[in-house]
Structure 1
Amino acid sequence: MKHLILALVLIVAPLPALAHKVIAGVFPAGEAIEGEIGFSNGDMATNAEVVVTGPDGAELGRAITDGDGFFIFVPSLPVAHVFSVNLGAGHVAEVTMPADQVAEILGEAAPEGARSAMTEISQAAAAGDVTVATLTGTERQAIAEAVRDEIRPLRREIAAYKEHNGFQTILGGIGYIVGLFGLGFYLAARRKLEA
């Protein structure tokens, strides 16, 4: 009877939840901002509403993710854009594109105090300190699309690999093995005492 109760307790005992992290990223895509929202296990946020706000918290617009977790937003103001998505179950994704990058997309001057590496390179080129190869807009867009298409699956694979092979997962597996050995030794000792 005691063995039956012990077996029932072990079967009904709660198992640890497999947690996953939210991944989110935004990057320039020609005259728009492209973003990706999903989970580190490879599941992507499909048909999720993305709320876009400015640095003052005012809403700038909304977007919807597609079947692969990607969305496109066309900015209209050269300010920092904060993209946030409520994915449910306490998962909230939030990522920001700085004002200087948004200004570059719009072809406008960056706001005062916002300087990126590209801005510094452009200023150095204008001063004659650096030689920069110029590409047409079509060439830049073609290169950006090719790079994005190649990086998408890699980003997902890396995130999924990190999730499945984490240190916590390894320790959990060792804990289960030790627990099973302990249960085996307990049952062996009980049998010896009963004999």
Structure 2
Amino acid sequence: MRQLLVVFALSLMPLPALAHKVIAGVFPAGDAIEGELGFSNGDMAQNQKVIVYGPDGAELGRTLTDTDGFFLYTPTNPVEHTFKADLGAGHVAEVTMPAADVAAIMGVEADVVETAAMIAPKEGGTQVTVASLTNEERAAIAQAVRDETRPLRREIASYREHNDLQTILGGIGYIIGLFGIGFYIAARKKMTS
């Protein structure tokens, strides 16, 4: 009877909430800033308004996420850009790209020299000349790389969320707790017999 009471009491205990965190990230994408918004459970923020602020808090512009939770924003000033989105239910995404990264995207700080690079041939090999790429070719390559790395970034963020230290320690705690209950029941049986 006591065993049934213990099992009943355990079934009434509150379960941990299946909470999720907001995932937000920005990174260079050619001459634009690409960003990602979503939740750690894999749900992405679709058609979500994203407001871009400067370092002084003034609004620089707005953009909208696509169906995969990604957005593009083309900067016009080489200043720090802060991207904010209200995802509802108390979830607010905020991520900042430093001014140096924005300036590099705009090509303000770096002088880009379009020259051909020579790769030294190995012994007995042939010489290879790598020519400079046009802006259209660079944009096409950057788009292809972005498209291929999007799923990887999402999987990594999801993996980090689901396998964090707190989850692992919580699982170990549950196992130890179950063993403790088992030992308690066994000791009670031994005392009564």
Q: Please classify the TM superposition score into its range, dividing by the shorter chain length.
A: 0.7 to 0.9
Alignment of 1:92-171 (within 5 A): 92-106=92-106, 109-110=108-109, 119=110, 122=111, 134-171=132-169
Query: In 1, Cα distance between the equivalents of 2:101 and 2:23?
Result: 20
Change (3 A) 1:103 1:169: closer
Q: Secondary structure at the match of 2:141?
A: helix
Instruction: Measure how far apart 1:31 and its partner are.
Output: 4.1
Change (3 A) 1:85 1:135: same
Structure 2 residue identity aligned to 1:177 = I
Change (3 A) 1:98 1:135: farther
Q: Deviations over 1:108-144 (max 9, x none)?
A: x35xxxxxxxx2xx37x69x9x999632110110111
Query: In 2, Cα distance between the equivalents of 1:182 and 1:101?
Result: 54
Cross-structure match for 1:26: 26
**% same residue:** 66
Cross-structure match for 1:193: 191
Query: In 2, Cα distance between the equivalents of 1:170 and 1:78?
Result: 42
Contiguous gaps of at least 5 residues in structure 2: 119-129
Instruction: Measure how far apart 1:155 and its partner are.
Output: 0.8
Query: In 1, Cα distance between the equivalents of 2:142 and 2:38?
Result: 21
Q: Deviations over 1:54-110 (max 9, x none)?
A: 111011222221211111223333322210122234433222223344345455x35
Query: In 2, Cα distance between the equivalents of 1:41 and 1:156?
Result: 10
Change (3 A) 1:48 1:106: same
Contiguous gaps of at least 5 residues in structure 1: 111-118
Contact 1:53 1:61 in 2 (8 A): yes
Query: In 2, Cα distance between the equivalents of 1:38 and 1:156?
Result: 9
Change (3 A) 1:177 1:28: closer
Q: How many residues align?
A: 181
Cross-structure match for 1:40: 40
TM-score by length of 2: 0.77
Query: In 1, Cα distance between the equivalents of 2:99 and 2:179?
Result: 58
CA RMSD across the alignment: 2.9
Instruction: Measure how far apart 1:5 and its partner are.
Output: 4.2
Cross-structure match for 1:17: 17
Bigger drift between 93-102 and 144-153 goes to 93-102
Q: Secondary structure at the match of 1:170?
A: helix
Alignment of 1:46-61 (within 5 A): 46-61=46-61
Contact 1:82 1:95 in 2 (8 A): yes
Query: In 2, Cα distance between the equivalents of 1:168 and 1:30?
Result: 37
1:173 aligns with 2:171: yes
Query: In 2, Cα distance between the equivalents of 1:105 and 1:177?
Result: 50
Q: Deviations over 1:29-53 (max 9, x none)?
A: 3443221112333322222221111
Structure 1 residue identity aligned to 2:185 = L
Change (3 A) 1:144 1:181: same
